[in-house]
Amino acid sequence: MRTLYICRHAKSDRGPGYANDHDRPLNSRGLRNAPFMARLFADRGEPVDLLLSSTAERARATASFHATQLGVPASDIELRAELYHASVQAIMNVLHTLPAEQTRVMLFGHNPGLSQLVEYLANDGPGELPTGSIVRVDLHVNDWSAASRGTGTVAWWDHPKRHPGQGGA
């Protein structure tokens, strides 16, 4: 079995002061929710072998909060440009190349690709993932290269709006 934690970046700033979408940082809500969700995840005690992130600032920042809570140096987050606003196929291409010894991977990226990925892998996803969401998908395969449509099940999912005081503006 393989375990994939699919994490949509926390809420980002949409102000006009950024040269491009790639550089947008987390906003005040994102800066509150990302560490909160990272703590909740760490409290689950579920081990992670690899943190993969889009190169976008908001995804990297969200991944960094998780790394801190998991005791992983931020420099160990594997940044992948192809995860920036990636399609399901682009994400699957990345997953298919993961080493066999990394059985539990946490992936940080963007919608709509991540919501579509959950639906593709599990056929029973929660639909549109709110910002800050984490979904655990258990893949019933022995190697990442065998992951495909319907090979997974959603074990759990969580997001800031489920927690009073976290999901609002």
With H, G, I as helix, E, B as strand and everything else as coil, classify residue 33. helix
Sign of CA dihedral 44, 47, 52, 55: positive
Rounded Cα–Cα distance for residues 88 and 85 (Å): 10
Task: Please state, in angstroms and as integers, the Cα–Cα distance from residue 154 to each residue in 57, 86, 87, 105, 115, following that order.
Answer: 27, 21, 20, 15, 12
Rounded Cα–Cα distance for residues 114 and 78 (Å): 17
Q: What is the pLDDT, as a whole number, of residue 167? A: 59
The answer to whether the beta carbons of residues 144 and 98 sit under 8 Å apart is yes
Residue 168 has pLDDT above 60, yes or no: no
Tell me the pTM: 0.95
- Residue 9 CB neighbours (<10 A): 27
Residue 15 has pLDDT above 90, yes or no: no
Residue 169 has pLDDT above 70, yes or no: no
Residue 8 has pLDDT above 80, yes or no: yes
Task: Please give the mean pLDDT across all residues of the chain.
Answer: 94
Q: What is the pLDDT, as a whole number, of residue 127? A: 87
Half-sphere exposure of 135 (CA within 13 A, CB side): 25
Q: Which residue segments constitute the domains of the chain, with CATH numbers given?
A: 2-162 (3.40.50.1240)
pLDDT tens-digit readout, 39-66: 999 999 999 999 999 999 999 999 999 9
Q: What is the pLDDT, as a whole number, of residue 5? A: 98
- Residue 47 CB neighbours (<10 A): 9
